[in-house]
Structure 1
Amino acid sequence: MLHIVNGDSVAKKLRQGLVPDDILVWREVYPHGPVFEEPAAVDHRKKRARYLERTLGIPRSEYIMISETQDKTLAGYSQYKEVVLWFEHDLFDQAMLCYLLHWFSKQFLSQTKLSLLSIGEFPGIEPFRGLGQLTPEQLQSLSGTWKSVSPEAMELGSALWQAYSSSEPDKLQKLLSEDTSALPFAQEAFKAHLSRFPSVRNGLGCVEQMTLELVETGINSPGELFGHVSGRLHILGIGDLQYWHILKKLSQGPYPLLSIRGMDGFPAYDAPTASFVHGEIALTAFGRSVLAEEADRAAKQGIDEWYGGVHVQGKQPRWRWDTVRQTLYETAEA
């Protein structure tokens, strides 16, 4: 059997004799940077590698090497009697799951069985954030509980990936209005993705909005902020490097929303910053006006971010999230 998991912590525990099989850790951060329907295409991979190097510090050559290696392992699926996908309920995992379902939908599985273990809770674990919280014994209790991937789940996963990687996010929104019960955690995860787009009220996505609200309450250290934001928005499965990128963007530019004192830079991949934990964060005057919905971050500061396959740019972003109606719409001004 081949087990495909989302992180090294889960893989390490499974390797402690829990599953006598091969394990592939799928290393990707699909909620960050440009995403393409066929990410293995050379031009697509290079573009994504450049972006991840620039924003997260992941060396371009290392990203490409890891991607090619895991693709090679995936391509050898036919040597296994069964492939089991272990993925959680948050956006980080659901995006991975949907990509893999999209990939497998194009393969001839023949004698290989494709199975899925996907949970959003576990007895005694509150709040449940993911499989990494579980002990080896708890993980072992899940062994064999996976179910065969149904044709409906395969089709839905592929459709969700195509919509997520599309430059037209209304395709995803339309898909989410239909029956998504074949993948029970996809609805909430991908709707949370849409809430990351700049809002109609002040140009902030849900992560930026939560950050400013927490700073206003007095939470002013980077570590504390990340803990609170990642906890309250656990449905996103946001990682620390992703969050530092967002925090950096909020504190830079001609119209910063946050000021940060007492630190000499932001951590990056394999490059921790010793003074970072001692930084002190405060709202700027502009940050307070945006939080009060008296100013618009996007209109004043401009935006240059990727949300799945959508590149949102400029001071009049084409797509905005309506926090009241919980819907994404195309602006007339763009």
Structure 2
Amino acid sequence: MELWFDPDPNDQLQLACLLDHVRSHPETVAKLELRLVGFDLMMIEPTWKGWSEVPLVKVRPAHVEAASKVWRAYRASTPEASFDVLQHDLSAFPLLRPALLDLLQELPWSGSGLGATEMRLLELIGAGFMGTNTLFYLRGFRQRGVFNDKEIGTLLEGLAHGPQPAIAGLDDELRVIDPENRRARVEAYRRSRLTVTEFGKAVLAGGEDLSRHNPIDRWWGGTHLTNDNLWRWNLALTKS
């Protein structure tokens, strides 16, 4: 049984979750093989002939243990276990370590209070990307692959709708449109013309911290991030 998972962080988490699930079923583990996919499977043409050239490895019990450590660490009530697991041997899954590092970088950074994707969105808007299409759909510009389109919208709303907004111009109707009404929300995003506020410019320059002026209430894996329980990332974990 071959497993194919994209290299992006969410797919690698799904792989870790799956292997943790089969951990207690050695008869299933014995049947598993993993393709080390280093590209986006959705971008491959149906006529592509290189499937057999993707490296194939046999999944061993030791591999399952390593993946299980990652999954259980991510579900823990603090990010400390995820940081610690980076010190373990994850060489059996060469895409898992960078995926976990990408996820850790989405914790609020020391100094700005923004995760890596939030900071990149602010940088792009500051560079003149006023429309949302680039922010949603052009990953090459975003340079971040942790969040899907819907989650990018949530990040933009967090930057725009706090007491001290970092961006302006996000359509106000997004405050009241049902989160499940995707069509109406997409239209509202398309109407938006984004700019960076003076406060946002100060955050970009390192002079302000978004979390000191706005409420934080979101989940990172099993960690509930709030202003009173704010784990930060700066190439190491800190708690403020």
Q: TM-score, structure 2 length as denominator?
A: 0.88
Aligned to 2:211: 298
Aligned to 2:182: 271
Aligned to 1:223: 133
Q: 1:131 to 1:219 in 2, by over 3 A?
A: same
Q: Does 1:319 align with 2:231?
A: yes
Once the two structures are superposed, the pairs formed by residues 33-48 of structure 1 within 5 Å of their partners are none
Q: Does 1:107 align with 2:15?
A: no
CA distance in 1, matches of 2:127, 2:59: 45
CA distance in 2, matches of 1:197, 1:329: 10
Q: 1:233 to 1:178 in 2, by over 3 A?
A: farther
Aligned to 2:61: 151
CA distance in 2, matches of 1:201, 1:190: 22
Once the two structures are superposed, the pairs formed by residues 168-187 of structure 1 within 5 Å of their partners are 168-187=78-97
Q: Of residues 29, 37, 41 in structure 2, which corresponds to 1:131?
A: 41
Deviation at 1:170, TM superposition (A): 1.2
Q: 1:219 to 1:112 in 2, by over 3 A?
A: same
The alignment-based identity, stated in percent, is 29
Deviation at 1:311, TM superposition (A): 0.7
Q: Does 1:84 align with 2:20?
A: no
CA distance in 1, matches of 2:192, 2:144: 27
CA distance in 1, matches of 2:38, 2:29: 30
Aligned to 1:18: none
Q: 1:85 to 1:319 in 2, by over 3 A?
A: same
Q: 1:263 to 1:300 in 2, by over 3 A?
A: closer
Deviation at 1:144, TM superposition (A): 8.7
Give structure 2 stretches of 5+ with no counterpart: none
Q: Of residues 152, 159, 163 in structure 2, which corresponds to 1:254?
A: 163
CA distance in 2, matches of 1:153, 1:297: 40
Deviation at 1:147, TM superposition (A): 2.8
Q: 1:317 to 1:286 in 2, by over 3 A?
A: farther
CA distance in 2, matches of 1:110, 1:219: 49
CA distance in 2, matches of 1:213, 1:190: 23
CA distance in 1, matches of 2:238, 2:70: 18
Letter in 2 for 1:247: L
Deviation at 1:110, TM superposition (A): 5.8
Letter in 1 for 2:159: L
Letter in 2 for 1:238: F
Q: 1:94 to 1:267 in 2, by over 3 A?
A: farther
DSSP 3-state at the match of 1:311: strand
Q: 1:272 to 1:110 in 2, by over 3 A?
A: closer
Give structure 1 stretches of 5+ with no counterpart: 1-82, 122-129
DSSP 3-state at the match of 1:137: coil
Deviation at 1:169, TM superposition (A): 1.1
CA distance in 2, matches of 1:95, 1:233: 21
Aligned to 1:15: none
Deviation at 1:278, TM superposition (A): 2.9
Q: 1:136 to 1:201 in 2, by over 3 A?
A: same
DSSP 3-state at the match of 1:280: coil
What do residues 230-267 of structure 1 show as CA deviations (whole Å, max 9, x unaligned)?
33555534210111111111111211111125574379
Q: TM-score, structure 1 length as denominator?
A: 0.65
CA distance in 2, matches of 1:245, 1:107: 38
Aligned to 1:93: 11
